Amino acid sequence: MPASRPPAAGASSDTGSGVPERPSRAVPAAHLRVQRVRPAYRQVADELRAQIVGGTLAAGERLPNEADLSRAFGVSRSTVREALRVLASQHLVETLRGVQGGSFVASPDPSQVVEDVGGALGVLVMTPQLRLHDLLEARLLLEPSAARLAAQRADAETVEAIQTAAGGRRDPRDPSGFVGHLDFHTTVLMATGNLMITMMGQPANDVLRTRLRRVGVEAEEWDRVDEWHRTIAGHIAAGEAEAAEEAMRDHLIALRPLYERDGLWTEDPLGR
Amino acid sequence: MPASRPPAAGASSDTGSGVPERPSRAVPAAHLRVQRVRPAYRQVADELRAQIVGGTLAAGERLPNEADLSRAFGVSRSTVREALRVLASQHLVETLRGVQGGSFVASPDPSQVVEDVGGALGVLVMTPQLRLHDLLEARLLLEPSAARLAAQRADAETVEAIQTAAGGRRDPRDPSGFVGHLDFHTTVLMATGNLMITMMGQPANDVLRTRLRRVGVEAEEWDRVDEWHRTIAGHIAAGEAEAAEEAMRDHLIALRPLYERDGLWTEDPLGR
DNA sequence: TACAATTTGTCCGTATGTATC
DNA sequence: TGATACATACGGACAAATTGT
């Protein structure tokens, strides 16, 4: 909280995080520099965030309006607004206009987490830090196990959803064919009944999906993919856990050449 | 024109505490309502984001200053600032003050992703949507495989890091003992050499770590934990992939009762 | 050590848009 | 059809932070 504004208090120290040697080079090194003081909008945002995650402000609860907040924190309304923008983009609050509007503590939404992670991955995967190969390998770790769990747990309704996602063969020129294809993997993830597994596996799928769009896939290849999907769905429906796991693993391995065309990866995948 | 700042509207009684707590006027379905128009700051943010992820603006590049941006977009500077706050909280830009300051396209940082996901999970895990059990089960899917990969790939340096993380027995009353304990799992994840796997596994570990702090663990129990860690580390060092995987799985299963004390979970875990 | 330059940070006052009643 | 209560947006002014001279 910016208890007193005017005294600059230039000796804010803090730092603390080590940074042993100071190069004293004149080169600013752009993004390596650190902010020495925390702007008021960040302090306000942090304070509000603490109240939200700490439970002082319950989900769905309405925050005071911006004018009241600005008085309560002793900052201007513009500053409060910038803080609210920070929290809103982290999906901690939602703000609506009009009477009865205002800022509300948002109920946490897993799909937004997935979306955010997917966006972040999309940026990361364009850097050498995260290789496409890493995404595929991670998928190879997660999804066969997910298929196993799905086979063990899926109820009738879920099984039907899986078979629908696997069976509906569509025209490959129809964009919905794409969506339908990867929806199968999503459906399997969800069939585990474990939200955490879904959230871990979905972002990689999303990134790969947008990737596949740029590759160009023949109708005949889609047929083979769909065949795999039907096989896996059959095992899940029959409750054959071990077979479902194996089929999913084989499927993902067989799928590799499709992504390899992307050219953006050279690494040798795991030889399991 | 006040040459000096007037004392912040002293007329408000409203002591901070953040929550004047409106009488909660039967707000209908709060977060179900939709925003019909997209505010200008969101449009500006979206436009800038598209340029960043689309590569028009390269990482490390400096954006025009706020005044120029406001002219370019035909909006006020306050609006530009709110847009920048959105992007900054998504770690797409960084803003620094002073001459040579400005807003820069941030280089994507995996640890930020992990941090964000961990934060989101922390909120989710307090709701019935995400059960603690789900986190543990997801870990059970990922980490044994990670141990296998680590055993297959870890070089001498990595092996040493793992053994350090496993070996250093510390006083349980020392907070660093906690950190050191879960750092072992982190180290194993990183030893896969697969950033995606690390990013998937780490957030759950972070959440569980903060969880464990509230449980209270006896020294004797820590001893057993460390014993497991040393066993796993030994297998990884010896390149015994299968054994490492099995040991990690057994370890995680054995660890379950520790978390069960938290009381916050009743679900029956998978019986694999 | 002091000062200038540049850029973000913060403020205020006012006007407009939007949804509800 | 208003009246109301919010968020949204603007413009201009000044403060503060950082770097260079």
Backbone angles phi, psi at B53, to 5 degrees: -70, -25
Pick left, alpha or beta for residue B63 (phi over 0 → left; psi -120 to 50 → alpha; otherwise beta): beta
Indicate the pTM of the whole model.
Answer: 0.80
Cβ-Cβ contacts under 8 Å, B259 against chain A: none
Q: Quick: pLDDT tens for B179-208.
A: 556 689 999 999 999 999 999 999 999 888
Q: Quick: pLDDT tens for B162-184.
A: 988 887 655 555 554 455 566 89
Q: What is the pLDDT of residue B128?
A: 80
**Confidence tier at A87 by pLDDT (50, 70, 90):** very high
Q: Do A108 and B85 touch (CB under 8 A)?
A: no
Indicate if the pLDDT at residue B31 is higher than 70: no
- Judge whether A48 and B18 are in contact, CB under 8 Å: yes
Q: What is the pLDDT of residue A45?
A: 93
C-alpha closest to that of A75 among A14, A21, A2, A147: A2
- Judge whether B188 and B241 are in contact, CB under 8 Å: no
**Confidence tier at B63 by pLDDT (50, 70, 90):** very high
**Confidence tier at B107 by pLDDT (50, 70, 90):** confident
Cβ-Cβ contacts under 8 Å, A138 against chain B: 194, 196-197, 200
Residue nearest to nucleotide C12 (CA to C1'): A76
Q: What percent of chain A has pLDDT over 90?
A: 45
Higher-confidence residue of A183 and A172: namely A183
**Confidence tier at A217 by pLDDT (50, 70, 90):** low
Domains in chain A: ranges and CATH:
1-108 (1.10.10.10), 110-260 (1.20.120.530)
How distant is C1' of D7 from CA of B11, in Å?
23
Q: Do A123 and B81 touch (CB under 8 A)?
A: no
Q: What is the pLDDT of residue A34?
A: 62
Cβ-Cβ contacts under 8 Å, A5 against chain B: 5, 8
Mean pLDDT of chain B: 79
B66-73 helix and B77-89 helix, angle to the nearest 10 degrees: 110
Higher-confidence residue of A25 and B42: namely B42
Indicate if the pLDDT at residue A267 is higher than 80: no
Nucleotide nearest the Cα atom of B81 (by C1'): C8
* Cα–Cα distance, A199 to A190 (Å, whole number): 9
* Cα–Cα distance, A244 to A237 (Å, whole number): 9
Indicate if the pLDDT at residue A122 is higher than 70: yes
* Cα–Cα distance, A204 to A208 (Å, whole number): 6
Q: What is the pLDDT of residue A174?
A: 52
Which neighbouring-strand residues pair with B260?
none
> Between chain A and chain B, how many beta carbons pairs sit less than 8 Å apart?
196
**Confidence tier at A109 by pLDDT (50, 70, 90):** confident
Indicate if the pLDDT at residue B21 is higher than 60: no
Nucleotide nearest the Cα atom of B33 (by C1'): C19
Half-sphere exposure of B138 (CA within 13 A, CB side): 28
